[in-house]
Amino acid sequence: MIAALVAIGAPVLAALASIGRLTRFAVTALSRLLQPPWYPAQLAQQMLVIGWLSLPVVGLTAIFTGSALAQQIFIGGSRFNAASTVPAVTVIGVVRELGPVLGGLMVAGRVASAMAAELGTMRVTEQIDALVTLRTDPFRWLVAPRILAAVLVMPFLVLVSNALGVMGGWLLATQRLGFNSAQYLATTQRYLEVDDVVSSLVKAGVFGFFIALMGCYHGYHSGGGAAGVGRATTNAVVSSFILILLSNLIITVIVFGS
């Protein structure tokens, strides 16, 4: 009986301790955003790395997915005479779900891994200790600018993702499925609501926070040489994927559930 309790209790306690450590890390990082010194050059550099350099991968993902979605809606809709719903369902599907989620996952794959690898390498080569001995708070210099940059640029990336996703659907529908361009765009505009865009941007900000938080947390706490940095990178990507999907579900239920 006691052995069974231990078997259940040990992983539960470990999970609670991990949540506590992560929460403390996030609170520390956020508190550094509220008081100087700030490092605007670090913030600008991270905005460039996370935002500008992620545009190609996010854009391509959106175009291909938007096109594939339009094709599938057309095929599925044709079965019950609803092929004309392609523009409406495409824009709702892209803006509410696929744009932010796929954009978030692509940025997580690119950015969370890079952050974990960079901070992990800095940890194992004692660069983070060196920062401390040079009277620079690693949370201010490394973590806070990354989190703020990700939260600021993700909505912009998702806006681009949404626009390109809808454009991908429009391209396929007008070039391959025989839709009239003006009618397609008019229907798209009619079915797109402000709530759709707002929820999309809110999701983007939340995803940006989790991507940077996971990248920084796992990198900052990495150890054990090259293998430890590798583990930190994997954990950063996996955990940010899970948090993106979980928070997406929660936001979707809150905004659209009623």
Partner 1 sequence: MIPRIELTGVSKRFGSRQVLDGLDVAVMPGESLVIIGGSGTGKSVTLKCILGLIPIDGGSIKVDGQEVAGLKGAALDAHRTRFGMLFQGGALFDSLPVWRNISFALSGTPADRRSAAIDNLARVGLAAEVADLKPAELSGGMQKRVALARAIAARPPIIFFDEPTAGLDPITAAVINRLIRTLVTDLKITAITITHDMASVRLIADRVAMLHAGKIIWNGPLAGLDACDNAYVRQFITGSADGPIQMPGARP
42: amino acid identity, one letter: Q
90: amino acid identity, one letter: T
Longest dimension (CA), the chain: 71
78: amino acid identity, one letter: S
Q: Specify the residue, 116 or 172, whose C-beta has the smaller distance to partner 1.
A: 116
Cα 57 to Cα 40: distance, rounded to the nearest angstrom:
26
Residue 28 binding partner 1, by CB under 8 A: no
Residue 195 binding partner 1, by CB under 8 A: no
Residue 126 binding partner 1, by CB under 8 A: yes
Structure tokens at 243: 């948090």
Residue 136 binding partner 1, by CB under 8 A: yes
CA-based nearest residue to 139, from 229, 19, 30: 30
Structure tokens at 144: 């806070």
Question: Cβ(174)–Cβ(184) under 8 Å?
Answer: yes
Which residue of 14, 16, 17, 130 would you call a contact of partner 1, by CB under 8 A?
130
Q: Specify the residue, 45 or 84, whose C-beta has the smaller distance to partner 1.
A: 45
Q: Which stretch binds partner 1 (CB under 8 A): 17-25, 122-130, 219-227, 231-239?
A: 122-130
Q: Which stretch binds partner 1 (CB under 8 A): 86-94, 119-127, 181-189, 203-211?
A: 119-127
Structure tokens at 220: 């900052």
Q: Specify the residue, 79 or 135, whose C-beta has the smaller distance to partner 1.
A: 135
CB of 134 to partner 1, least distance (A): 4
Question: Cβ(105)–Cβ(204) under 8 Å?
Answer: no
CB of 223 to partner 1, least distance (A): 11
Size of the site for partner 1 (CB under 8 A): 12
Which residue of 28, 31, 78, 125 would you call a contact of partner 1, by CB under 8 A?
125
Handedness of CA 29, 33, 37, 41 (dihedral sign): positive
Give the interface with partner 1 as residue ranges (CB under 8 A).
122, 125-127, 129-136
